[in-house]
Structure formats: structure tokens, C-alpha cells
Structure 1
């Protein structure tokens, strides 16, 4: 017997509104091996579950109780996923691969398989429904019997964008019609008085699903954290 994933909307009410479920045996070999490899302890798992969110609602849910942990979004997402899987008759056992965020899992590749992710010119995933305003929140190996879920792979919304406002909006000229020039981006973000310290101007200029753009507080939160990481990497000579 198979079960519909989140049929009662438990995770949706926790504002984890993007779901994908894959049979492990059906995954491409590169993804399967990156997640499971030869670890005999993972042989009990049947499925891979990817959870995400799109839009502004998750931030409101997380901040309603205050930002009380080091990573409140990860804590909220993990707690909500655990509560659902612990009580679902479809799931006998599970193991988180993400979060923690330092696990080397191929989230972007899995997002592509789920039909969520296309590469944008400003190096953030994008799709027609949510623009670039979505994110991966949990990746779980599960001994479960959910009906597989993904969305059909479509074309990138960038392909139909003629004006390319993201290119014009980038003050570092890092966003181009070809490759993304990461060195220019990093140098500008780390410069004094940078207009991209707390937000990506190219991303803000993108018109795709702009109605789902994160609020200013959420944008500052995410980019503030990424700026801290970038400063640490620069000190260590990694970028």
C-alpha cells in the first residue's frame, strides 16, 4: 500500500510547501551513489524525500516565535519534518541528510530532478512558479511507502526573458550573458559600503514571480549569513 505524501497538509501548514519523493532505486546512479554509496546501514531505506519552501510564509512562521536558535529555519524545518514522519503510517524509519547544512549532498542536482531548479544568471535556482524565491529545507532517507512526487521538468523562465534586468542591475558586472564572474561578485560584496552586502541587486531585479519575493528582513537575514561565510572564506584564502 502506498500513501499520498502530506495528504492532510501537515507540512504545508508548517509552510514547507514544496515536496518531492523519489524511489531510491529509480535515482540516477550519480545521485544514488552520492547519497547512499556502499553504506550497508542505509539499505533499509526505500525513498528519498526532499522538502522545500516557496514564498514568504515560512519566514512569518519561523519569526512568529522569535529567532531563538543559531539557525531557526533549519530547526523549524527539521522539527516539522520529524513530527510528520514520526506519526505517518507510511514511514517506519528515516535519517536526515540535510540539515545539517555541512553535509555534502547534491541538493541542486536533486532539485533539478524534482523539477524545481533551473540555473539563473545570478547563480540562484529559479523556476516559473516561485522565481528565485524558494529554498531547500530538508533531505531525508526514509523507509517509507509514499507515492513518488515530482513536477514535470520544464524550460527555464530565463530563456524567455529578453531584457535580462539582472545583468543591468549587477553593480559588480558579475552577472553576464555567459558565465557568472564570482570573483567580481565576492570583491564587491566585501567592499566598504557595498550595495550587495545585505541583498543581491541582480536577484531583486528579476521579474520572475516577483510577487513571492522575500520580505526585506528575510533578505537581510540570508545575505547577512552568507556575508559572514564569505568573510570567513576570504580570511582563509578560499575565495
Structure 2
């Protein structure tokens, strides 16, 4: 049977991706003894968000802060978020939690969920749990010879040099209807985790939020 804490996380609509006992070099605050990374994979969190949010004021970050904060309090934990300032090293924590690998796009890739997941919070516990280490398969990109994710972008925004954000944003503003309606083509080209691909409403929401945030940052 799954650990009761993991079951509670799933009941709240979140996916528990991995966990670890932090060391000093992990920069985990409050002297926490145990960390669980949670977020979205599949439709559960999105459905809860779509059902509960107020479109006039609730960004996904704002909603997540409330929902994950309530979950943390129920579990006698504290929630911290990728959008906190200064930022916490979530991708480093993901390596420690056995929650995925770095993909050629620079995004975290999970052997089961592919690129169709996101870390939304870390739950910090004052006590350690006796949970078996998460099982993580081999890095899926190492056996992917064609790497279609690197050639699918219409403006070649992804390359060994990194992510060309201005080129991506310029495309989305002008000729990026396909990306805006169905999601990032580079992400969609990845063969891993296709069962967890975002549906149209979720894809459009994330693409719109991404574009608006980038335009506002100009």
C-alpha cells in the first residue's frame, strides 16, 4: 500500500514526483528533515485548478500557493515554490529526489511523464519518513537517436547554445498559432510520456500565460 502522505498528495490533485533526506548542500530551509516534490502530471491538478480558480484574479502560481499551502498545513509541513524569491534549486532537488533528468531542451524529463509535468511545490517536513527510494528508469534521451525535440521548433529556438527566448516569443506573437493552440511543438515532438500530453484547454492556458509573462518582462 502507498504511504499515507503520498495518498493525501494524490487526493489533493497533485503528483508526488520524488523525495529525499536533505543535506546541508541542498539549501533546504527551516532545517527540514524530508522533502517531497509535487506538481502536475496528467489531468488531475489541471481539472481541480480549472474548477476552483477565479479567472479574473487566479494565476496558476496564485492558486498553487493556496492549494499546496493548505495541503502542507494538513500534513504538518511547509510548502515552498519554484516562483519564490530568491528561487530555490528545484532542478537540483529533482536530481536528489530521483524525479527525472535534464532533457536536450533544458527541461526536466521523466521516464514516465516525459516533458508533460511540472514541479509546483516542495513539501518540507520537520520529521523524516521511512519511504523506499523512488524508482527511476534510464534517461530516455540517451536512447533517443533522432531527438526530434531539437528540430521541431519552427524558429530553431532550441540548440546546443541554449534556448533562444526572443525568437520563440517573436514567433508566438506573429505566426505561432499552432504553438499557441496546441502547445510547444518541440515539446510535442518528444515521444516520451505521450499519454500525459496536455489537452487543448491546458495547452492554450500555459502558452498564453508564458507569452503574457514574457511580454510583460520586456
| Fold shared by both chains (TM-score > 0.5) | yes
d(CA) in 2 for partners of 1:5, 1:185: 46
Call closer, same or farther: CA 1:71–1:5 in 2, change over 3 Å: farther
8 A Cα contact 2:180 2:203, kept in partner: no
1:135-170 deviations in whole A, cap 9, x for unaligned? Answer: 112123321342246424543211111232223321
Unaligned stretches of 5+ residues in structure 2: none
Matching residue of 1:6: 5
Please say if residues 116 and 198 of structure 2, whose CA atoms lie closer than 8 Å, have aligned partners that are also in contact.
Answer: yes
- Structure-to-structure mapping, 1:1-239, within 5 angstroms: 4-6=3-5, 9-24=7-22, 27=23, 29=25, 31-32=26-27, 35-36=28-29, 42-43=30-31, 45-68=32-55, 70-71=57-58, 73-88=60-75, 91=76, 94-98=77-81, 100-148=83-131, 150-176=133-159, 178-183=160-165, 185-186=167-168, 188-189=170-171, 191-195=173-177, 196-197=179-180, 199-233=183-217, 235=218
Deviation at 1:173, TM superposition (A): 1.5
Kept after mapping to 2: 8 A contact 1:54/1:134:
yes
Q: Contact 2:68–2:79 at 8 Å: present in 1 too?
A: no
Shift of 1:134: 0.8
CA RMSD of aligned residues (A): 2.9
**Larger deviation: 155-164 or 202-211?**
155-164
SS of the equivalent of 1:230 reads: helix
Shift in CA distance, 52/193, structure 1 to aligned 2, threshold 3 Å: same
Counterpart Cα distance in 2 of 1:165 and 1:219: 20
Whole-angstrom CA distance in 2 between matches of 1:173 and 1:16: 33
| Distance in 2 separating the partners of 1:202 and 1:174 | 9
Moved more, 205-214 or 77-86: 77-86
Residue 18 of structure 1 contacts residue 54 of structure 1 at CA under 8 Å; is this kept in 2? no
Q: Structure 1: any 5+ residue segments left out of the alignment?
A: 37-41
| CA deviation after TM superposition for structure 1 residue 78, in Å | 4.2
Does the aligned pair in 2 maintain the 1:22–1:148 contact within 8 Å?
A: no
What is the CA distance between 1:68 and its match in structure 2?
Answer: 4.4
Distance 1:191 1:60 in 2: 28
C-alpha change, 1:188 and 1:123, in structure 2 (3 Å) is: farther
2: distance between equivalents of 1:159 and 1:206? 13
State the aligned residue count.
215
Secondary structure in 2 matching 1:144: coil
SS at 1:96's partner residue? strand
